Chain A
Amino acid sequence: MVAFTEEIVDVGGTKVHTLKGGTGEPLLVLHGAGGNNGWLKSIDALADKYTVYYPSHPGYGESERPDWLETIPDMAAFYTWYLETLGLEGIRAVGFSMGGWIASEIAATCGHSFSKLMLVGSVGIKPNVGEIADLFIISPAQVLDLMFHDPSQAPEYQAVYGREFTPEEMMVAEGNREMAVRLCWKPYMHDARLTSLLARVNIPTRMVWGKNDQIVPVECGEMFNKAIKGSDLVVIDNCGHSPQVEKPDEFIKTALDFLA
């Protein structure tokens, strides 16, 4: 396992809790609406080749939220500041679910931020046929049920989701959920202008989707793929919304192939 450290990055007075580890060129990893799940196997594998920056978004976990930050475009603006603070530019980025939305917003509006972009089960585009599951109107336990196609094939499922949580962890999870509500309530998990803006993205981009994603339909992956020139879409069989947890080996392989 690659050693990682916990760092506080001060972005214009806002403290951002960041997990950092690995060696090599920098790689930004942006978590989904549920929050930062920590240094899992898939993150560790990325850190084997790259220096991974894995922040908790402002308003999530131990990271502060500046008063003005209310939307995903605000979040994108914030992260360009975060990158500038760290002296990072033209780096690789991976975004999971809502983190994919943030990453694609950055890529579309700030062309020099990233050199390669990978979007995993990303929200941000409204599907034409299906719907993005409403995660706010159901309980956290129901969200978890939707997230996995077959939890038994996720080696870290028990460690991450199957154990008893402390009251402090429950408070953090509730706070994370409230931050997701702040960012994504309406329009729910999408932005009507994103598809048009994605035409500006001119870096290598790969979408990765679980074929059995019950939260964000594969159709959304196809729409991202169509909107971004020269991109590709990798669909992983027998896999739900979080390939990095449910099928880590397949996820790692496709990620490392693409990012190399």
Chain B
Amino acid sequence: MSLDVYYFTEMPYHYIDDELAEQWPSLRLTFPNSYFDPNKATDLFKRYLDEFQYAEEVGFQGLMINEHHNTPSCMDVEVNITGGILARMTSKAKILMLGNMLPTSDNPPRLAEEIAMLDVISGGRIVSGFVRGIGIESWASNTNPIHNRERFEECHDLIIKTWTTPGPFRWEGKHYQYRAVNPWMVPVQKPHPPAWVPGTGSPETVEWAVKHRYTYAAFLTELSRAKELFGSYRDQAAQAGWEAGPDKFAFMICAHVNETDEKAQESGKAFMWRMGHPLKGPREYWAPPGYFSQAGVAANAARRQKPMNQMSYEELQEHNHLVVGSPETVIKKLRHIKEELGIGSLLLETQGGPLSHEDTMRSIKLMGEEVIPALQD
């Protein structure tokens, strides 16, 4: 059974050390942007984009991008910008945008035409992820969290209709109203680019993904919990009269490869930056009132045994949030994950904050030459 492996980085601005980070309630939302040096960011972007390009060259089947706001942990603030860059600078890899934040968008037809344009430029390589945005994005965009799910669903429905229904048509919804939806740009892929949705465990999201037959991506979740979620998806699909194959399941973790286990364990420590301060902050930042349903609160709590920023380097590896090692070790662990979960796609966050360009490139190379081929049987 084949497995699509995606290269992913949040393109972190990692020049914020622990001592500075600790002076603020969180690196997210309210950490002062006066600490941002745009010139350093120019160099980082150049480097990160080179690494994306190299990932395609060595054999990653896909490149994954995402966006966040008000945080040094993710410099990508607009997946459709980075998607546009990757669409032109690559030629084979799928471009997984996971994704566009629907609830915080005030203009779904604009999103529909942007993604369509990327699909056209890339010759039909876009995988269109739709996301709710973490709680922090509700603050950053000042979008009422109580309407998050409603807006997500209505924005989605309008985008899909924009892609699949010849225009012009009218839309009079609760949150969005348009007189003439009729963007010139429509996608290459028919009826529309594959749609994915990430989940943190909310039962509503699983149900929604099943309803639309979208790929469900579990992010940094305990294997046992991911199995439950995927099982729930399969059961609901079966009840609806269809079988959910591996293409409906994706799993995202951090991964780092070096020549030997010993070397990898040393260089992989760079991921501790990403697992530390960027994940801290007051509860209200992450979960503004109304963002989670009661079921969502319980599901999110069950996602991990304890918060990742309270886990040691060893614990993160024991819980499969971070896979580190020689190619042989990493192959063994990723095979186990593939078999346990029955996934069709594995999303590997391979650039971890202060991980150097040299270490990142070596990791990408070893994955492309040794790990990815070994996961295809």
Interface residues of A (CB under 8 A from B): 136-139, 171, 174, 177-178, 180-182, 185-186
How far apart are B301's CB and chain A's nearest CB, in angstroms?
Answer: 14
**Contact of A186 with B288 in the complex, beta carbons under 8 Å:** no
Pick the contact of A185 from B146, B284, B285 — CB < 8 Å? B146
**Contact of B144 with A138 in the complex, beta carbons under 8 Å:** no
**Contact of A137 with B285 in the complex, beta carbons under 8 Å:** yes
Residues 282-306 of chain B, each 1 if its beta carbon lies under 8 Å from chain A, else 0? 1111001110001000000000000
Known contacts A137-B285, A138-B284, A139-B284: A182-B144 contact under CB 8 Å = yes
**Contact of B288 with A181 in the complex, beta carbons under 8 Å:** yes
Question: Which residue in chain A gives the minimum CB-CB distance to B297?
Answer: A174
Question: Using Cβ atoms and an 8 Å threshold, which residues of chain A touch B288?
Answer: 136-137, 181
Known contacts A174-B289, A177-B289: A185-B144 contact under CB 8 Å = yes
A-B contact count (CB 8 A): 36
Interface residues of B (CB under 8 A from A): 139, 142, 144-146, 282-285, 288-290, 294
Q: Given contacts A180-B289, A181-B289, A185-B146, could you give 7 more A-B pairs where the C-beta distance is less than 8 Å?
A: A137-B282, A137-B284, A139-B283, A139-B284, A178-B289, A178-B290, A181-B144
Question: Using Cβ atoms and an 8 Å threshold, which residues of chain B touch A174?
Answer: 289
Question: Using Cβ atoms and an 8 Å threshold, which residues of chain B touch A138?
Answer: 282, 284
**Contact of B144 with A186 in the complex, beta carbons under 8 Å:** yes
Known contacts A136-B288, A137-B139, A137-B288: A178-B146 contact under CB 8 Å = yes
Question: Which residue in chain B gives the minimum CB-CB distance to A174?
Answer: B289
How far apart are A233's CB and chain B's nearest CB, in angstroms?
Answer: 31
25 pairs, A vs B, C-beta closer than 8 Å: A136-B288, A137-B139, A137-B284, A137-B288, A138-B282, A138-B284, A139-B282, A139-B283, A139-B284, A171-B294, A174-B289, A177-B290, A178-B146, A178-B289, A180-B289, A181-B145, A181-B146, A181-B288, A181-B290, A182-B290, A185-B142, A185-B144, A185-B145, A185-B146, A186-B144
Q: How far apart are the CA atoms of A40 and B107 in the complex, in Å?
A: 48
Question: Using Cβ atoms and an 8 Å threshold, which residues of chain A touch B282?
Answer: 137-139
